[in-house]
Structure 1
Amino acid sequence: MRGWILAAGASLAAVVYGVGAATSDDAEKTGGATTVYADGRNAFSFPAANLSDEERTRFAIGNSFFRRNWVEAPASTTARDGLGPHFIARSCGGCHVQDGRGAPPSFRKGLHDQPVGLLMRLSVPGTDAHGGPAPEPVYGGQFNNAAVQGVRPEGQVLLRYEAVAGRFKDGSRYSLLKPHYSFGQLGYGPMAPDVMVGPRIAPQLIGVGLLEAIPEAEILRNAAEQAAAPGAIKGQVNRVWDAFAEKPMIGRFGWKANVATIAHQSAGAFLGDMGITSPQFPQEDCMPAQTDCLAAPRGAKGQGVEIDAKTLADVVFYQATLAPPARRRIDDLQVKKGQVLFQQAQCAACHRPSYTTAEGPFPSLSSKALNGQKIWPYTDLLLHDMGEGLADGRPDFQASGRQWKTPPLWGVGLIKDVNGHSRLLHDGRARGVLEAVLWHGGEAEAAKQQVLGMTRAERAALVKFVESL
């Protein structure tokens, strides 16, 4: 992807990762030959530019099942029935609108507007059979605020914000939004007193197949080099159970790197977000106390899972081959200035700019067109302690309640075009790039302090660089 033009004052991270001066071609092509030149509402929805005609047909088929609504059972069709019994969305595209990013409910719509692109993970102390979070005993691992006919919704998510004021070192004021979550109208009684709640925004999906094709050795290298380097930045891998590989793997997806593959993420979301069973997750996610959920009609006439292996594979292929858009404004002098500031502030120590892809874990669910590409996602795919301000207190496999995966930065500047907002971080609390930086703490405290010391013009340049990615 990215134009990473090394300049005087470039951070040590650039040297550590062997990132040399980028050519103008590198600077634009975020995903190598997969890159598309696109902006506007559909910028995140194009197939990789180098797919074959046959693969484009498969992409279109997967897209149709990704975007179209599933319906309640029984229905006249068994191809798309089986929604629920509990759910938060009727389609994958309901959370990932235009393959983009979700947002918390808007004040303009009222505080009780129920979230779709923001879900609430639930767990209690302990682990499940695979070392993941132990589900809350009444409501399970995810809170679902919608249900089919004859089944009670689990309840409502309530959200309020607290203003957090601060100053830059030049005296300029800023204000952040600290969210507070609670639940109302609980359908099955109170939750466990030791419940842990983790809000999660649906991220944009561009380039996920390329991230999956980053060699495991490179992620381990990131952790080893950070461990050996001076300073506070010490990223860790998360090792998680993958239902498709049927073994532990390094996590790459999810806000805590709690999912290893697109296939597991997709099948898990079909079940958790829509109540659609699959070969890997064949049982409805109904807890013992939810007797109406357990008794609800099943899709596919109750004769099998509600999304078959082939259809699920096409949906996975669709996501894996979504192309990252090309960088924009790479020759803008303010962007170039922001690029140098990004390096000087040590942002690249976690947001590693570039990789060369290999082959993903499941070749039949992706395309060879993604292999061997030089990509510029700006992430190390590692967990970092981000401080108490961002902590949700909820462990996930080997991730602590204070750790978060470094999110890729490609496409950040297009979220507003695609989704009409600029909400960032795991729960959408940040109203743009600068606010996201100001929430950094823990291992990233020193980087935040550098940003707090920047002039207004320098802060604007830093933001403009990140939004060019």
Structure 2
Amino acid sequence: MRRPLDFLRRLRRAEDCGLPSQQNPRYGWLRGLSLAVVVPLTASAMAGAPEPAGLATSRTDLTPKDLARVIAITRPTKDFSKPEQFEPMQGGAGTSRKGANKDAFSQSSANITFEEEGIFKLGNALFRKNWVSSPSSTQASDGLGPLFNERACQNCHLKDGRGRPPEGDSGTTSMFLRLARQASTEEEKAALAARKVLNFPDPVYGSQLQDLAVPGLRGEGRMRVDYQEQKVTLPDGTVVWLRKPSYSVDDLANGPLDPHTTLSPRMTPPMIGLGLVEQIAPADILAHADPDDRNSDGISGKPNIVRDGQSGELTLGRFGWKAQTPSIRQQAADAFAGDIGISTPEVPNHWGDCTAAEKTCLAMPNGVQERLGPVEAPPPVMDLVTFYSQNLAVPARR
């Protein structure tokens, strides 16, 4: 399946963002480019299941012949003595067969074109880019913070893989604390019921604890992780010691957290295969919903129906630890805002997660430049980062 890349019509402004201009003959191939993606299809496992939020749970775009083929290909195996037929190429035609080294998670989908590889590399450059605080002599690179957790996407998603929990005084490079509280008023309860919000932030510190800040400002606090060793006996009698973490916050800059605020650690997940997940038809995911384990397989999958931040419509959540985000682009915009403090068209808040109570934060300068538009990361930046995130290849099984 190939679909047009809307952002190519907007790359005329890319040169202003420190990227090659579409008018440059060297990059004339950008015009009319389309994206090759692999669409993984699954069969409806629970025909007749209720349709959450009015979303269909059965496919209407496949012929009976195609549906039968999909069922045959995706039917779970019962023979674990040998690899499944398609197991080595677990990412389909986009699977990367490049060497199993430290860059194994940083390869592009194998089925993109030479021209698309150029776009992928531009997105990679932005993914690795270190943002700086405003004002700055650099063009289109300022706007960091004022409060933030890291300066670049790659600093959290280490080599495009998952993060690691902090050890001792090693810092919290790839983990942060999500701050949230339950609804406390009838108005807030109604907003939750209508799926207008997922939860409510701490009234002072916002939706996540940001331990870093630009010069002239203090970070919100420092995450503390304490481990308690526990002795566990396995079914075969083997005794192992496991560590149970507990989380707290030290050195809070603006007084204590709200007593109803909860702490939830978030470690960065790997980036590979996100584009494949985004292409799965919603009906295929919803058809496998089984929150009450009616088929007695021990799995109680429950889809998360969320409200799309751009259209306002209810849709299927796919990304994030709790599948709270419907698209890769929205996930990237949320990370720009919360983790780095960069505004985007999707989340046009120039001060990131700063709250009304953090007046010093809101008084800091931002990185908006009039010639680039009303946000710090304009559409061409988001287009390239999204393309990069969609096309990080799943490596072949070893």
The reply to whether TM is greater than 0.5 is yes
Alignment of 1:274-293 (within 5 A): 274-283=340-349, 284=351, 285-293=353-361
Deviation per CA, 1:126-162: give whole Å up to 9, x if none.
2567131101100000110000011121011111101
The structural deviation recorded for 1:34 is 0.2
User: For this pair of structures, how many residues does the alignment match?
Assistant: 312
2:145 equivalent to 1:84: yes
C-alpha distance in 2 between matches for 1:175 and 1:24: 35
C-alpha distance in 1 between matches for 2:298 and 2:396: 33
Residue aligning to 1:67: 128
Q: Contact 1:69 / 1:91 at 8 angstroms: preserved in 2?
A: yes
C-alpha distance in 2 between matches for 1:78 and 1:210: 34
Residue aligning to 1:98: 159
The structural deviation recorded for 1:242 is 2.4
Comparing 164-173 with 16-25, greater Cα deviation is found at 16-25
Residue aligning to 1:115: 172
Aligned residue identity for 2:334: G
2:86 equivalent to 1:26: yes
Larger Rg: 2
Residue aligning to 1:299: 367
Alignment equivalent of 1:49, drawn from 110, 116, 124: 110
The structural deviation recorded for 1:243 is 2.0
The structural deviation recorded for 1:235 is 1.5
Q: Contact 1:87 / 1:145 at 8 angstroms: preserved in 2?
A: yes
From the superposition, tell whether residues 24 and 240 of structure 1 become closer, same or farther in structure 2 (CA, over 3 Å).
closer
Q: Contact 1:114 / 1:145 at 8 angstroms: preserved in 2?
A: no
Residue aligning to 1:344: none
From the superposition, tell whether residues 62 and 246 of structure 1 become closer, same or farther in structure 2 (CA, over 3 Å).
farther
Deviation per CA, 1:424-467: give whole Å up to 9, x if none.
xxxxxxxxxxxxxxxxxxxxxxxxxxxxxxxxxxxxxxxxxxxx
Residue aligning to 1:155: 221
Aligned to 1:317, what secondary structure does the other structure show? helix
2:95 equivalent to 1:35: yes
Alignment of 1:269-418 (within 5 A): 269-283=335-349, 284=351, 285-301=353-369, 304-328=374-398
Aligned residue identity for 1:308: P
Aligned to 1:143, what secondary structure does the other structure show? coil
The structural deviation recorded for 1:121 is 0.4
Aligned to 2:122, what secondary structure does the other structure show? helix
Residue aligning to 2:26: none
C-alpha distance in 1 between matches for 2:292 and 2:262: 30
Q: Contact 2:202 / 2:261 at 8 angstroms: preserved in 1?
A: yes
Comparing 21-30 with 253-262, greater Cα deviation is found at 21-30
Residue aligning to 2:202: 136
Residue aligning to 1:377: none
Deviation per CA, 1:250-284: give whole Å up to 9, x if none.
11111111111111100000000000001111112
Q: Contact 2:291 / 2:301 at 8 angstroms: preserved in 1?
A: no
Alignment equivalent of 1:182, drawn from 248, 256, 259: 248
Q: Contact 1:114 / 1:156 at 8 angstroms: preserved in 2?
A: no
C-alpha distance in 2 between matches for 1:234 and 1:63: 37
2:330 equivalent to 1:252: no
Aligned to 1:327, what secondary structure does the other structure show? coil
Q: Contact 1:74 / 1:301 at 8 angstroms: preserved in 2?
A: no
Q: Contact 1:168 / 1:174 at 8 angstroms: preserved in 2?
A: yes
Q: Contact 1:244 / 1:263 at 8 angstroms: preserved in 2?
A: no
From the superposition, tell whether residues 192 and 72 of structure 1 become closer, same or farther in structure 2 (CA, over 3 Å).
same
Alignment equivalent of 1:192, drawn from 232, 243, 258: 258
Alignment of 1:453-468 (within 5 A): none
Deviation per CA, 1:15-58: give whole Å up to 9, x if none.
99623578776121011110012311000001000101121111
C-alpha distance in 2 between matches for 1:244 and 1:210: 22
Structure 1 alignment gaps of length 5 or more: 2-13, 329-469
C-alpha distance in 1 between matches for 2:156 and 2:218: 21
Task: Please report the TM-score for the alignment, with normalisation by the length of structure 1.
Answer: 0.63
Aligned residue identity for 1:120: L
From the superposition, tell whether residues 217 and 295 of structure 1 become closer, same or farther in structure 2 (CA, over 3 Å).
same
Q: Contact 1:78 / 1:300 at 8 angstroms: preserved in 2?
A: no
Aligned residue identity for 1:295: A
C-alpha distance in 2 between matches for 1:74 and 1:84: 12
Aligned to 1:133, what secondary structure does the other structure show? coil
C-alpha distance in 2 between matches for 1:23 and 1:116: 37
Aligned to 2:348, what secondary structure does the other structure show? coil
Aligned to 2:289, what secondary structure does the other structure show? helix
C-alpha distance in 1 between matches for 2:178 and 2:235: 37
From the superposition, tell whether residues 24 and 183 of structure 1 become closer, same or farther in structure 2 (CA, over 3 Å).
closer
- How large is the RMSD of aligned CA atoms in angstroms? 2.3
Q: Contact 2:211 / 2:219 at 8 angstroms: preserved in 1?
A: yes
The structural deviation recorded for 1:234 is 2.1
2:234 equivalent to 1:207: no
Residue aligning to 2:3: none
C-alpha distance in 1 between matches for 2:290 and 2:301: 9
Task: Please report the TM-score for the alignment, with normalisation by the length of structure 2.
Answer: 0.74
Aligned to 2:117, what secondary structure does the other structure show? helix
C-alpha distance in 1 between matches for 2:311 and 2:393: 25
Aligned to 1:222, what secondary structure does the other structure show? coil
Deviation per CA, 1:88-141: give whole Å up to 9, x if none.
00000010011111111123xx3xx43020011001112567131101100000
C-alpha distance in 2 between matches for 1:242 and 1:268: 13
Aligned residue identity for 1:263: R
From the superposition, tell whether residues 140 and 247 of structure 1 become closer, same or farther in structure 2 (CA, over 3 Å).
same
Q: Contact 1:78 / 1:299 at 8 angstroms: preserved in 2?
A: no
Deviation per CA, 1:382-432: give whole Å up to 9, x if none.
xxxxxxxxxxxxxxxxxxxxxxxxxxxxxxxxxxxxxxxxxxxxxxxxxxx
The structural deviation recorded for 1:173 is 0.4
Residue aligning to 1:265: 331
User: Identity across aligned pairs (percent)?
Assistant: 38
Structure 2 alignment gaps of length 5 or more: 1-37, 39-70
Q: Contact 2:181 / 2:262 at 8 angstroms: preserved in 1?
A: yes
C-alpha distance in 1 between matches for 2:298 and 2:250: 40
